[in-house]
Chain A
Amino acid sequence: MSIQLKLEDVETYIGQFHILQGISLEVRKGEVTVLLGRNGAGKTTTLRTIMGLNPSTKGTITFNNEEIQSLPTYSVAQKGIGYVPEDQGIFSELTVEENLKVAMKNESDRTKERLDYILNLFPDLKKFWKKPGGLLSGGQKQMLSIARAYVNDNELLLIDEPSKGLAPIVVEKVMESIIEMKDKTTIVLVEQNFMMASTIGDQFYIIDDGQTVQNGAMEVLKEDDEMRRKYLGIA
């Protein structure tokens, strides 16, 4: 499988804080790569650095063999990378319809097809089509955020903690939808919920103190109690 996204020795500062101190990872096309690690390890910053929201100060980020680390955020997104932030980034006063429309680059048949697909996956969005995004439940907001990133022909989705703050039944729904989307797009997932991460993920990277310290197939991590205990604090 070809490498779609590659980070080589990426470093990022936020203000005076040296958050990423050497992130290297490879994301293969068509797979779900999960970034794991303790709180504050640098997982969210890694996604934000890929998007150009916290630009890197060192290292290279390659997407489809093109260096993107110097590009502004909107250019990174235009290359075909969709982003679902940790706080979902919903435009609270815009309706569900408007939240999706603002994301749609065009109204081509392909886009409409993807919109139909995602609305079938998340029927709640259809139900609350004219409701302001700010009035949706946490789970619905998460669905809207994922739908918004998916609706364009993005080749890669960066999804940051989709299970955060959601009820278990909603987590299950979100997890099912991501599994469903696996066939259509490459995904980089930041997730604290190991059950979810291990169910969805094909590959994993563990980030600790701003560095990638372990990686491999998810099956390996599932079997390795010691590694999970050491880096994730779970047995």
Chain B
Amino acid sequence: MRKGGEEELDVFFNLTLNGLATGMLIFLLAAGLTLIFGLMDVLNFAHGGLFAWGAYSGTWLYATTGSFIIGILGAVVTGLILGLITERVIIKPVYGNHVQQILITLGLMLVLSELLKVVWGPNQLSATAPDFLKGSFELGGIIIIKYRLFIIAVGFLVFVTVQYVLKNTKIGLVVRAGVMNKEMVQALGINIKKVFMLVFMVGSGMAALGGVLLGPYSGVIHAEMGMEFAILAFIVVVIGGMGSFPGSILAAILVGLSGSFMAYYVPDLALAANMLLMAVVLIFRPQGLFGWKG
């Protein structure tokens, strides 16, 4: 029999791992959202729809081909393509008009959700992890669930890669500059609209990756999952600071951990936890944790 102290430690580590995994999924959704808002000044309420499309297309591809890797790659490609179409057809005509952006992207969110039902049916689909990511292992007396660790690793890898690109490449430099002053970037001879398109596609690809990873984590996927996670992602964008990529991962981890711990220790407050966290951050730092002060 395990002692009480060991059990508590086990619970603590599992809640932490659970919170980090959830945080990474939210990060994948929020990272694109924050860059799209920061650079393009676009409020994209359809971002969750791309997350859900990633989940469905990836799960379907995995089930069809038997390869989880193909499922993941397929989801990302789906996200990139849908992102390209969305930016060119839906977003481009409403640049600079927030009201129109909200209306059209909310509409698109509904259309994307309904299209999922048209293609894959109205029922939720089950999603499982591949054999090599099923189960758990013990490390120093703590039981670690493999798939959660996998999500954390993928999220971290995406963060490091994107951060490297933002910090060390010309296109990254342009994106960071564009978040601060779009007009000046153009005055330096850079076609910001091409950069917009690229960022939108990459953001959509990351959202789709988050979607396909969520499937085996929650066990089932459904057409409305995008909206549920999009709300968390918007909270993360606000907490982290609009346009801040590092801010989005820190805020996503905070939201993931607070959700995980609150659900276990104070379940009645679990739903309010994220809002409270956002309120506290906004009181002390209205521009968010890493937000750029205009």
Q: A residues bordering B, Cβ < 8 Å?
A: 51, 53, 72-74, 77-78, 83, 85, 89, 91-94, 98-99, 101-103, 105, 148, 152
B187 adjacent to A102 (CB under 8 Å): no
Q: Known: A91-B180, A102-B177. Contact between A51 and B185, CB under 8 A?
A: no
Within 8 Å by CB of B187, from A89, A92, A98, A105, lies A89
A89 / chain B contacts, CB cutoff of 8 Å: 181, 183-184, 187
Closest to A80 in B: B189
B183 adjacent to A53 (CB under 8 Å): yes
9 interchain residue pairs of minimum CB distance: A77-B189, A89-B184, A73-B186, A83-B187, A78-B189, A91-B177, A103-B188, A74-B191, A91-B180
Within 8 Å by CB of A102, from B173, B191, B292, lies B173
Closest to A158 in B: B187
B185 / chain A contacts, CB cutoff of 8 Å: 102
A105 to B189, CA, bound (A): 8
A94 / chain B contacts, CB cutoff of 8 Å: 173, 176-177, 180
Q: Known: A92-B292, A93-B292, A94-B173. Contact between A102 and B180, CB under 8 A?
A: no
Q: Can you offer 25 A-B residue contacts whose CB atoms are under 8 A?
A: A53-B183, A53-B187, A72-B186, A73-B183, A74-B187, A74-B188, A74-B190, A74-B191, A77-B186, A77-B187, A78-B189, A83-B187, A89-B183, A91-B181, A91-B184, A93-B180, A94-B173, A94-B176, A98-B176, A98-B177, A101-B170, A101-B173, A102-B170, A102-B177, A102-B188
A85 to B184, CA, bound (A): 8
A74 / chain B contacts, CB cutoff of 8 Å: 186-192
Contacts A78-B189, A91-B181, A101-B173 known; 19 new A-B pairs at CB < 8 A: A51-B187, A73-B187, A74-B187, A77-B189, A85-B184, A89-B187, A91-B176, A91-B180, A93-B176, A93-B292, A94-B176, A98-B173, A98-B176, A99-B177, A102-B173, A102-B177, A102-B185, A103-B188, A152-B189
Interface of B (DSSP majority class):
helix
Of the candidates A53, A73, A98, the one having the most CB atoms from chain B within 10 angstroms of its own CB is: A73
Q: B residues bordering A, Cβ < 8 Å?
A: 170, 173-174, 176-177, 180-181, 183-192, 292
A73 to B177, CA, bound (A): 16
Closest to A77 in B: B189
B184 / chain A contacts, CB cutoff of 8 Å: 85, 89, 91
Closest to B243 in A: A93
A148 to B186, CA, bound (A): 13
A171 to B125, CA, bound (A): 69
CB distance from A75 to the nearest CB of B (A): 8
CB distance from B289 to the nearest CB of A (A): 14
A148 to B181, CA, bound (A): 14
CB distance from B194 to the nearest CB of A (A): 9
B190 / chain A contacts, CB cutoff of 8 Å: 74, 77, 102
A67 to B191, CA, bound (A): 19
Closest to A105 in B: B189
A155 to B120, CA, bound (A): 59
CB distance from A151 to the nearest CB of B (A): 10
CB distance from A148 to the nearest CB of B (A): 7
A51 to B187, CA, bound (A): 7
A85 adjacent to B180 (CB under 8 Å): no
A78 to B185, CA, bound (A): 12
CB distance from B180 to the nearest CB of A (A): 5
A78 / chain B contacts, CB cutoff of 8 Å: 189
